[in-house]
Amino acid sequence: MSRVGGAWFEGDLPGGRQFVDVGAVSLERGGHLPEVRLAYETWGQPDPDGSNAVLVLHALTGDSHVAGRGGPGHATPGWWDALVGPGRPLDTDRWFVVAPNVLGGCQGSTGPSSTSPDGHPWGSRFPFLTVRDQVAVEARLADALGIKRWALVAGGSMGGMRVLEWAVGYPDRVAAALVLAVGAAASAEQIGWGSAQLLAIRTDPCFSGGDYYEVGPGTGPTVGLGLARRIAHLSYRCEPELAERFGRQPQPGEDPLGGGGRFAVESYLDHQADKLVRRFDANSYLVLSEAMAAHDVGRARDGVAAALSRVTALTMVAAIDSDRLYPPYQQDELARLIPTAGPLVVLSSKHGHDGFLLETDAVGGLVTQLLERVGRRRPSCCSA
C-alpha cells in the first residue's frame, strides 16, 4: 500500500499506543462498521474501582498523544503535555488519564485508512460518522477498561463536542465535565469554513475519489489537504495576532512585490500545511470535519435546551475571548442552559481559537478547580 500522508498503519511503531477491539458498530445515520479498533494512551494507574479515571478528548487534527515527547511512533510532542504528569493539573500520581484516538481518525483507530474486512483500505467506502457515534465507541473503551464513571471528561473544539455528548448521553458516567471553545451545535459559519476545506481536498486531482492509498507511491491529495489546513488555520487564529506577528512583512530573502516571493504570513501558512500533510490523512480530515458539521447536541432530543437539561456532571464551560471560530456567545449559551454549570469562564488569549491548546496555565487551573470540587483525593499517605 502506498504511504500517503501521515496516517499510522499496522506494523508502524506503536509508541505509547494501546489498542482495544470493541466489535461491530451500528452508526447513528444507518452505516455499519463490522469491526472497530480504538487506539488510546494512558498515564498513571487506575484505582481498583476505576474512580480516578480522567478522559481527555482531542480536537480535529489531534490524536491520543496528549503528553510526552515526539519520536518513534509519534510525529509530534503531546498536545497538552503541560497538563499531564506528576505535580501537574492532571497529576498522574493521583489520576489515571486516558486519551483515545477518535473513531474515524488516522492514528491507530478505525478510520478511512484502516484495512477493511476485504483486505483493502476503507477509503471512499468509510461510512458517515457523527460525534454521537464516536462517543458511543468511547463508552465501549470505558467498559473494556472497567471504568464505570469518569471523574472528569475534558476537551476543546471537536473534543468539546464529545465532552457534551458524554455529559448528555451518559450522564451517570461523568462526574465532572470541562467544555472548551465549542457550541451546542455547528453554526452556519462553522459549516461554511469546513465546506471550503472539504472542497479543497476533494478537488485535488490526486484525491482519486478517496481511494488514493493503492494508486502508487507519492500520490494522494497532499496539495488539497495543505490548502484545507491553510483555510482552517486562519480561522484558528485571530487578526490582531497575525497583524502583530507578520503585518505586511516579506518572508526574509523573498520579494512578494512582483518578485515571485511570499509575505511572511504566507510562509507561516505554508509551514502549517506542510506539518499537517506529514502527520495526517486527507480522508480522516473529511470524515471528522463532516462529523463536526453535523454536531448538534439537541438532535433527536427535543432541542438543545432539553438535551442540556440532562447534564448532571459538575460542569465548567470556558471560552477564549479572541476566538472567531467558536465565539464566546456560543459558550455562554451552554453555561446558561447546563443546570450544573457555573458562570461562563472567559480566558484571555491573543491566539484565537487555538488558545484552548496554548493557554495551558489557564486551562490547567480550570482542571485543578474541577477536580478539587469533585472531591476525589487519595489519602496523603498514598500520594507520591
Residue in 157, 235, 322, 349 annotated catalytic: 157
CA 202 to CA 286: how far, in whole Å?
9
- Full DSSP string of 305-316: HHHHTT--SEEE
CA 319 to CA 64: how far, in whole Å?
23
Q: Which three cell numbers stand for residue 314?
A: 459538575
Contact call for residues 330 and 187 (beta carbons, < 8 A): yes
CA angle (73, 78, 84) in 5-degree steps: 125
CA 53 to CA 97: how far, in whole Å?
6
Q: Which three cell numbers stand for residue 330?
A: 456560543
Which of 292, 275, 266, 230 is CA-nearest to residue 5?
A: 275
Strands 314-320 and 176-180: parallel
Is 353 one of the annotated active-site residues of the chain? yes
CA quadruple 371, 138, 184, 26: dihedral, nearest 10 = -160
Contact call for residues 153 and 165 (beta carbons, < 8 A): no
CA 217 to CA 5: how far, in whole Å?
11
Strands 53-57 and 152-156: parallel
Is 157 one of the annotated active-site residues of the chain? yes
Amino acid at 167: A
Residue in 114, 235, 353, 354 annotated catalytic: 353
CA 185 to CA 15: how far, in whole Å?
35
CA 24 to CA 4: how far, in whole Å?
27
Residue in 65, 323, 349, 354 annotated catalytic: 323
Is 271 one of the annotated active-site residues of the chain? no
- Catalytic residue numbers, as ranges: 157, 323, 353
